[in-house]
Structure 1
Amino acid sequence: MQESEGGPVAEEVRRRIVRMIATGALVTGDRLGTERALAERFGVSRATLRSALVPLNRAGVLERRTGRGGGTFVRGVVERDAAEQLGLPQRLAVGGGREVATVVLSVRERAADATEAAALGLGPGARVVEVERVRYADGLPLSLDRARLPAALVPGLAQADLAGSLYALLEERFGLAPDVSEEVITVAQATRREAEHLDVPPGAALLHLYRVARTADDVPFELSDDLFRADRVQIVARRGGPSRADVVPRG
């Protein structure tokens, strides 16, 4: 029998659980209460509670364990600080030692289009290297990334191992390190192709990060469109002290 994700009441319970994780009321490794206790806590039926947990289990935010001592445990969402310069592998390692993997979909050199040329400060006829990858955390797809870099700055990049941190590779091999990154964060709907790579339904909400990275000498070297599963990522903005503004995932 296929599990149902329920209606608006189940969705509200799901959002309350996500908020509890986002605010630290629930942390990675916490065991949720029994089904009966949780249903009473949220004031819903056990059937509604089960429906609320379905998308969180599918997204890897929660994990069901069987056997003695089993139950439903918090795995947590991936947190990305909008102000930091860490690449995704470093972010995931710093954030709790998650298992990270990358699948390179394509690498190609081509002529820059007008938008790319303007963003990267390129002249007529300039070429870019386009790298498209799917990033995984704990075996589940997390993001679909498409980076474009001036070909003149990264000779031989297409032949390099691109399964790790792109920023680490760019700094080690080409001396390109991000000193300033300008990011625009919006919400997008998954196309059929994006949905297939990210294992979400077509039209599902995605977090779209559009980024231009520059060196300390103000040389733009990366234009990137990163699409994150909104049910597995929260964007955090920190300024000054411990205050924080979270973009809470939506499923």
Structure 2
Amino acid sequence: MSASLLTRAPALVRRHGTPVHVQIEQWLVGEIACGDLATGDRLPGERELAKALRVSRMTLRQALDGLARRGVIVRTPGRAGGAFVAEPKIDCDLTGLAGFTEQMRRAHRTAGARVVEASTVAAGEDVAAGLDVATGSQVHEVVRVRSADGTALAVERSWFPVGQVPDLLERPLTGSLYELLAAEFGLAPHTAVEYLEPVTADAEDAGLLEVQPGAALMQVERVARTVVGVPVEYARDRYRADRVRLMIRTGVDAGIGEVSAIPALRADIRTGR
């Protein structure tokens, strides 16, 4: 595989609008997209690859660093290390109000849930505001690690109003909580406002997600409401940025004839099913 990749090295264009290191990234991404490079394949050594591309090792490293940041490749140190094609990220579509279990079903993955904590606590200010209850009110807190095919992908921290779901913690909590809310309490989440924000893994997140402290995560803060507007969940989910890609569909609002705009780092999204 390494030898054949070297023979396909493209002629890079200097003094072009696209920097050379970006051209290298685009070439390698194309090799992966067409199947000539598969998950787990090892790229040629830096010296060989730089020679085939006729670039300096510094330029090549810029390209590899960019691909590593995007999660396209993983780099491991040591004699047996190198740059390897990473497993493709899983797309999670936040446009509709589908829970993690449904998202994994769509991605043809087996969803798992490990309950880390389930207890009744006093609502802090943020939780109380999200659930429209008084600060200090009793809420159920459920913390779970969500996985796909056995690999931890996200930490979900959710709070539910005790007044609406008094015996929630007595029910099974390893499946879809949205399905549970609908089937057992008649409180199917129908709309949500969600905020997306990049964060880094603290010691607790790192331990639960099996990543290094400081690893890139994407936080989704959410308030889910029923069809009549009753808040039933306040949540802060944290996804591994190296394994999950969050997707939002935008379109033209027929009422005002303008294209919806979503800021790069923070989005206020109202969704429905």
TM-score, with normalisation over the residues of structure 1?
Answer: 0.71
Aligned mates of 1:29, 1:151 — CA distance in 2: 54
| Secondary structure in 2 matching 1:158 | helix
Greater radius of gyration (CA): 2
1:174 aligned residue (161, 185, 188): 185
Residue 197 of structure 1 and its aligned partner are, at CA, apart by 0.8
- 1:86 pairs with 81, 98, 116, which one? 98
Amino acid at match of 2:33: L
Q: Could you say what secondary structure the match of 1:155 adopts? A: coil
2:128 to 117, 138, 145: 117
Q: How far apart, in 2, do the equivalents of 1:148 and 1:28 lie? A: 43
Identity percentage of aligned residues: 30
Q: Matched residues in 2 for 1:43 and 1:244: separation?
A: 39
Q: Distance in 1 between matches of 2:165 and 2:216?
A: 33
Residue aligned with 2:147, SS: strand
User: For the Cα contact (< 8 Å) 1:147–1:222, is it kept in 2?
Assistant: yes
**2:209 aligned residue:** 198
Is 1:141 aligned with 2:132?
Answer: no
| Structure 1 position 89, deviation (Å) | 1.2
Task: Give the Cα separation in 2 of the matches to 1:29 and 1:136.
Answer: 29
2:88 to 71, 76, 96: 76
The separation in 2 between residues aligned to 1:108 and 1:100, in whole angstroms, is 23
Q: Distance in 1 between matches of 2:204 and 2:162?
A: 26
Letter in 2 for 1:139: G
Structure 1: 5+ residue runs without aligned partners?
A: 1-11, 60-71
Aligned position for 2:13: none
Give the Å deviation of 1:182.
0.4
1:100 equivalent to 2:111? Answer yes
Q: Does 1:26 align with 2:33?
A: yes
Match of 1:63 in 2: none
CA drift at 1:206: 0.7
| Whole-Å separation in 2 of the counterparts to 1:116 and 1:199 | 27
Q: Could you tell me which of 227, 239, 242 is aligned with 1:228?
A: 239
Tell me how many residue pairs correspond in the alignment: 217
Change (3 A) 1:44 1:170: farther
Pick closer, same or farther for the CA change 1:27–1:140 going to 2, 3 Å. farther
Q: Which runs of 5+ in 2 are unaligned?
A: 1-20, 76-83, 253-259, 265-273
- Show the counterpart of 1:3: none
Q: Which residue identity is paired with 1:215?
A: T
Alignment-derived partner of residue 142 in structure 2: 131
